[in-house]
Amino acid sequence: MSNTTWNLDPSLESTALVQIKPQYELFIDGKWQAPLSKTYFDSINPADETHLAKIAWANQADVDLAVRAARTAYTNVWSQLSGAERGKYLFRIARLMQEKARELAVLETLDGGKPIREARDVDVPLACNHFFYYAGWADKLLEAFPGQNPVALGVAGQITPWNFPLLMLAWKIAPALACGNTVVLKPAETTSLTALKFAEICQEAGLPPGVVNIVTGYGDTGAALVAHPDLDKIAFTGSTAVGKQIQKACIGTTKKLTLELGGKSANIILEDAPIDQAVEGVINAIFFNQGHVCCAGSRLFVQESIATQVLDKLKFRLQSIYVGNPLDKNTDIGAINSKKQLQTIERYIQLGLEEGAEIYQPTCELPSAGYYCKPTLFTDVAQSARIAQEEIFGPVLTIQTFRTIEEVVQKANNTPYGLAAGIWTDKGARIFGVSQQLQAGVVWANTYNKFDPASPFGGYKESGFGREGGLHGLRAYLKFPN
Amino acid sequence: MALSMIDLTTLEGKDTPGKVRQLCFKAQHLHDQTSDLPKVAAVCVYPSMVGIAKKALGDSGIKVASVSTAFPSGQAPFSVKKDDTLFALENGADEIDMVISRGRFLAGDYQFVFDEIAAIKELCTSARLKVIFETGELDSLDQVRKISDLAIAAGADFIKTSTGKIQPAATFPVVLTMLGAIKDHFDKTGQMIGMKPAGGISSSKLALQHLLLVKEVLGEAWLTNEWYRFGASSLANDLLLQYQKHLTGKYQSAAYFSID
């Protein structure tokens, strides 16, 4: 039989399960409240630029209402409950999220553009697991910190990014509630829908009003939240630039602060690595979630002796990556989250060309509507090139080579960031040797982008401070008076 | 496409000339009620049945593959394996499916295993040689990769996962490891090596997943029966069943498809 061109048929996930309201209000004190600002903004689907919903745009007065509701709920209800009772609510929320997993996954994909495969297999199950995990800690805080008398902080203001909307919400809300705090959460403006669906889940779980409040809006809403005087804690995940502003705003206040910011993480392949697995790992490290991952392995370092082989394999592998409709179960790379972000990425690709780097993109067709970017490799990249120094937050990988381990450690650490790193080698001793020298909050060995609620996550240097996840994650929402 | 890649197989101690003749008829007439169906690639039998199969298949174009070298265990002296292979070839086998000496391989006697494959390859002047690893007995993926490289270097035209007598057989990790070896060899030398997963691929869905693996790891050039085969006995009927569903929109009873 002669050769045939044989392609995958589209396999679209149904959106029938998902009900999106035409307009969303603010979720304050357990009720949907129209914004005092009387303004709304549009949420669109980045995959085809269609309108999804109108969403309330909270101003300072709205934020104030939300913080007051959270304070009242903290004083009168939440701080009076035992840890076991708080745990029950968290378990209930986790189970409800599991029940609605399919709906949440489709909603996340519609709103944010990520492939349904990732939303379904990573975002939603991990988010559920965070609630289950921290539900278990709620009545064991004394055992977690023996002799240290852990006490809740009070009211936490939390700001989440658009790359993993529901998962980041879970990272923030689950430990906060488990430790006995109440929260006001502001999701990113392009991805509010799963947070609003989460608010419905809180209602369904019978969570006391005011324990979780969701205020939607743009950066000014976030700024109003950060500036609010009656908060005990600010937790932010997002860009380093905004993180710095927040840190400034918190100077001279008693607010406890954790920041999880950007990254430009190094992924290092040593010559004895299992090459096929390493190539697969590189693909996962940079193209997972369109590269919209703060810990994305965006700088690849390959030992010189295997560089040609690795590069050839990477290029071949790129040909079988499916870029397109995020609702298609075959899709590996979905839509870029927003027009603004697509422009940023395109600007960096242009910059890479101007800096003299060699570009490689596979021959794939992109949908005509929506925001899409081909997976992109840059070789011949200088350590001083801006594309190798600045966070691009898209499917763009810079590739550099090295000869000695000393050299690669130096280059990997030569960045203002320090969030994550990857190392690929067959030798256990090298894993420990190199990872101890890397300034990164997480070092993955022979894998990448692996997350678990029990494992803490956070950065060095300008990638932020504080840890989320695991026992360490509790610390961020507790104080230890004696 | 999948139908045309099948090596329709019967490898049982109780095989009779009648059974082999039936299988050969089935190979040429998968389901005459459906028009435009391809024929299978080959019929795979024991050496003693090669002559019968050859005669039954006539000039249909379907190849006769013979297992050899003391299939399935490979536990016989080389002289016996040689005679086994020569007997199959003299009776007209177009393809030889040999097994490796797993015991010697696991003992680290790679030279012995290499020499054995090379010697059998020498006997197969015009026949194509498939080398069966029996990966279910090889313990680790590292071993699978090692034997793949070794067999390719020794002259294998095809590498094949299993005899079908041992579980696990053609699992995805094993198949992916072997495809990786083929890909690396092709990148280095430009020479194509064929792949034959065998054992346990009994449904269309599994076959489709295997084909996708080949397409994405090796490319479309391998998607022909020249370079890819399924070693299977019951896959054909499931493919026919699914194809009927595709044509008519209805699932048929398995009773409408001849068992051999």
Q: Which residues pair with A225 in a beta bridge?
A: none
pLDDT score of A238 more than 80: yes
pLDDT digits (tens, 9 = 90+) for A244-289: 999 999 999 999 999 999 999 999 999 999 999 999 999 999 999 9
Judge: B38–A276 Cβ closer than 8 Å, yes or no.
no
Q: Are A378 and A351 in contact (CB under 8 A)?
A: no
Structure tokens at A442: 């997480």
Cα torsion through A451, A455, A461, A466, rounded to 10: 120
Q: Longest Cα pair distance anywhere in chain B, in angstroms?
A: 55
Using alpha carbons, list the distances in angstroms from residue A292 to A78, A426, A459.
35, 29, 17
Mean pLDDT within A315-326: 94
Instruction: Kindly state the DSSP code that residue A13 receives in the 8-state scheme.
Output: P
Q: What are phi and psi of B240, to 5 degrees?
A: -65, -40
Residues A235 and A278 in one domain: no
pLDDT at site A3: 42
Mean pLDDT within A154-162: 98
Please, what is the Cα angle at B54 between B49 and B58, to 5 degrees?
Answer: 150
Please name the amino acid found at residue A426: D
Using alpha carbons, list the distances in angstroms from residue B61 to B3, B18, B24, B42, B94.
15, 21, 12, 9, 11
pLDDT at site B32: 86
pLDDT digits (tens, 9 = 90+) for A43-62: 999 999 999 999 999 999 99
pLDDT score of A4 more than 70: no
Give SS3 for B138.
coil
Residues A43 and A186 in one domain: yes
C-alpha distance across the termini of chain A, in Å: 78
Residues A255 and A277 in one domain: no
The answer to whether A436 contacts chain B (CB < 8 Å) is: no
Of A63, A6, A12, A103, the residue nearest A328 (C-alpha): A12
Instruction: Classify residue A401: in a domain, yes or no.
Output: yes
Tell me the shortest Cα–Cα distance from A381 to chain B, in angstroms.
25
Please name the amino acid found at residue B30: L
Tell me the shortest Cα–Cα distance from A165 to chain B, in angstroms.
32
Mean pLDDT within A171-178: 98
Residue A22's Cβ-side half-sphere holds a number of Cα atoms within 13 Å equal to 0
The answer to whether A276 contacts chain B (CB < 8 Å) is: yes
B157 catalytically annotated: no
Q: Which residue among B212, B221, B225 places its CB closest to the CB of A1?
A: B225
Give chain B's count of helices (H) and strands (E): 9, 8
Q: Which residue among A3, A8, A312 places its CB closest to the CB of B223?
A: A3
Give SS3 for A479.
strand
Residues A282 and A413 in one domain: yes
CATH of the domain at A473: 3.40.605.10
Judge: B1–A6 Cβ closer than 8 Å, yes or no.
yes
Residue with tokens 């498939």: B130
A residues 299..328 contacting B (CB < 8 A): 312, 320
Can you tell me the distance from the alpha carbon of A296 to that of B132, in angstroms, rounded to the nearest whole number? 41
Q: Which residues pair with B131 in a beta bridge?
A: B98, B159
| Mean predicted lDDT score pLDDT of chain A | 96
**Mutate which of B172, B214, B220 to test chain A, going by most A C-beta atoms within 10 A?**
B220
Residues A205 and A300 in one domain: no
pLDDT at site A2: 38
Q: Are B102 and B70 in contact (CB under 8 A)?
A: no
CA-derived radius of gyration, chain A? 22
Give residues with Cβ within 8 angstroms of A222, minimum separation 6. A159, A186, A242
pLDDT score of A338 more than 50: yes
Q: Which residue among B4, B211, B215 places its CB closest to the CB of A1?
A: B4
Q: For residue B176, what is the nearest residue in chain A, using CA coordinates?
A: A276
- Residue-range domains of chain B with CATH: 3-233 (3.20.20.70)
Domain count, chain A: 2
Which ipTM did the prediction report? 0.83
3-state secondary structure labels for all residues of chain B: CCHHHEEEECCCCCCCHHHHHHHHHHHHCCCCCCCCCCCCCEEEECHHHHHHHHHHHCCCCCEEEEEECCCCCCCCCHHHHHHHHHHHHHCCCCEEEEECCHHHHHCCCHHHHHHHHHHHHHHCCCCEEEEECCHHHCCCHHHHHHHHHHHHHHCCCEEECCCCCCCCCCCHHHHHHHHHHHHHHHHHHCCCCEEECECCCCCHHHHHHHHHHHHHHCCHHHCCCCCECEEECCHHHHHHHHHHHHHHCCCCCHHHCCCC
Instruction: Classify residue A11: in a domain, yes or no.
Output: no
Residues A205 and A275 in one domain: no
Residues A254 and A273 in one domain: no
Can you tell me the distance from the alpha carbon of A398 to that of A285, in angstroms, rounded to the nearest whole number? 12
Residues A247 and A377 in one domain: no
Q: Are A454 and A133 in contact (CB under 8 A)?
A: yes
B215 catalytically annotated: no
Give the full edge-to-edge strand order of the sheet including A464-465. A31-33, A26-28, A212-214, A182-186, A155-159, A233-237, A256-260, A464-465
Q: Are A13 and A7 in contact (CB under 8 A)?
A: no
The answer to whether A1 contacts chain B (CB < 8 Å) is: yes
pLDDT at site B34: 84
Mean pLDDT within A287-307: 97
Q: Each residue's pLDDT tens digit in chain B (260 positions)?
A: 789 999 999 999 999 999 999 999 999 998 888 888 899 999 999 999 999 999 999 999 999 999 999 999 999 999 999 999 999 999 999 999 999 999 999 999 999 999 999 999 999 999 999 999 999 999 999 999 999 999 999 999 999 999 999 999 999 999 999 999 999 999 999 999 999 999 989 999 999 999 999 999 999 999 999 999 999 888 999 999 999 898 999 998 888 888 87
pLDDT at site B259: 81
Q: Are B79 and B123 in contact (CB under 8 A)?
A: no
As to burial, measured by CB atoms within 10 angstroms (0-12 exposed, 13-18 middle, 19+ buried), residue A272 is middle
pTM, to two decimals: 0.91
For residue A290, the enclosing domain spans 266-445
Residues A35 and A102 in one domain: yes
Residues A312 and A166 in one domain: no
User: Alpha carbon B188 to chain centroid distance?
Assistant: 25
Residue B109's Cβ-side half-sphere holds a number of Cα atoms within 13 Å equal to 10
Instruction: Classify residue A134: in a domain, yes or no.
Output: yes
Instruction: Classify residue A431: in a domain, yes or no.
Output: yes
pLDDT above 70 coverage of chain A, percent: 99
Q: For residue B1, what is the nearest residue in chain A, using CA coordinates?
A: A1
pLDDT digits (tens, 9 = 90+) for A106-129: 999 999 999 999 999 999 999 999
pLDDT digits (tens, 9 = 90+) for A54-106: 999 999 999 999 999 999 999 999 999 999 999 999 999 999 999 999 999 99
pLDDT at site B256: 86
CATH of the domain at A366: 3.40.309.10
Can you tell me the distance from the alpha carbon of B220 to that of B238, in angstroms, rounded to the nearest whole number? 24
B196 catalytically annotated: yes
pLDDT at site A441: 96
Residues A158 and A205 in one domain: yes
C-alpha distance across the termini of chain B, in Å: 20
Residues A253 and A278 in one domain: no
